[in-house]
Amino acid sequence: MRVWKADIQVEAGRIDHAGHANDAAGIIHDVLAYNEVWKETVKWIDSHGKDKNNYIVLATADHDTGALNLPGGWLPASLVNVTNSVEYLADWLEEESEGVTGNELSTLIEGVLTDKLALNITSIDQQQISLLTEAVSTGSGIAGNLTEIRNLQSGLNWGTGGHSSVDVSLYLYPQDDKELVDSVQGLHPNIWLGQWIESYLGLDLAGVKAKLDSDGSLRNETRREEILGAPVISE
């Protein structure tokens, strides 16, 4: 019987969007969703009893985004009741505010700040609200203004709106095999994990790529299946 070795990748992609937007609430919700995937995966591995060591699960990130830092006095509880990401709210505000002016626009904006971003409207500087109102009126910079208000109210600081060199964590399960655990411990560049998986599964990715490149097979799905020995799943 042929023994199949497989590598399945599951990505929590929205956390990167939230990091670029410096949206802490968005990050929290994606982390919680990812935790549920991790728990279900560990549960599935454990269900195989003595054979569970035939499977491993690794969790990591390819980079940090945003360089979030937590100064003294930050207020995590202020993020609990946030209902939507900043990106969603910016798009929603732009759509809902079309043709809306004056007091009606002020009421709309106040509703977003209090109901969706869970802010106390009396604690927000009026200049910030004026800048947000101007952004909504012009349809430019809405997300940035929402983010600034949310972060000021939560006491959060960010180092960048891009990727950073902050180290990320690497988790492994199960950990019964000490040699396996030792092989993943330490600090690694972000390309290392793919190389480790290639070695662990006994693959020759450079050789496979060379075969696919040699006759244009990268553009031929049937030929790719023949070389890889397994169906190619396309999106």
Cα 164–Cα 72–Cα 117 angle in degrees, nearest 5: 75
What pLDDT score does 153 carry? 87
Residue 140, phi-psi category: left (phi > 0), alpha (psi -120 to 50), beta (remainder): beta
Does residue 188 lie within any of the structural domains?
no
Q: Is residue 40 part of a domain?
A: no
pLDDT for residue 80: 85
* Numbers of helices and strands, H then E, in the chain: 10, 6
User: What pLDDT shows up at residue 118?
Assistant: 85
Give pLDDT, residue 117: 86
* 57 within a domain of the structure (yes/no): no
Same domain, 219 and 149: no
Token readout for 87 is 């990106």
Where is the domain boundary, 141, 158, 175?
158
pLDDT at 119: 86
d(CA 205, CA 89): 43
Residue 231 located in a structural domain: yes
Q: E strands along 30-176, which residues?
A: 57-59, 64-65, 68-69, 157-158, 163-164, 171-173
pLDDT score of 53? 87
Residue 182, in any domain of the structure: no
Following CA atoms 157, 88, 77, 14 in sequence, which dihedral angle do they give, to the nearest 10 degrees? -70
Q: For every one of its 235 residues, what pLDDT tens digit does the chain have, with 9 covering 90 and above?
A: 455 667 788 888 889 999 999 999 999 989 999 999 999 999 999 999 988 988 999 999 989 999 998 887 888 888 888 888 999 999 999 999 999 999 999 999 998 999 888 887 778 888 988 999 999 999 899 999 999 999 988 999 999 999 999 999 999 999 999 999 999 999 999 889 989 988 988 888 888 878 777 766 556 666 666 666 655 555 4
Q: Is residue 6 part of a domain?
A: no
* 139 in a structural domain: yes
Contact 108, 196 (CB under 8 A): no
Integer distance in angstroms from the first to the last C-alpha of the chain?
29
Q: How is residue 77 written in tokens?
A: 């509880």
Any domain includes 125? yes
Identify the pLDDT of residue 71. Answer: 82
Q: Which pLDDT value is given to residue 179?
A: 92
Of 139, 158, 177, the residue at which a domain comes to its end is 158
Domain that holds residue 209: 205-235
Name the burial class of residue 11, with classes exposed (0-12), middle (13-18) and buried (19+) by CB atoms within 10 angstroms of its CB. exposed
Per-residue confidence (pLDDT) for residue 216, from 0 to 100: 66
What is the tally of structural domains in the chain? 2
From 142, 158, 174, the end of a domain falls on: 158
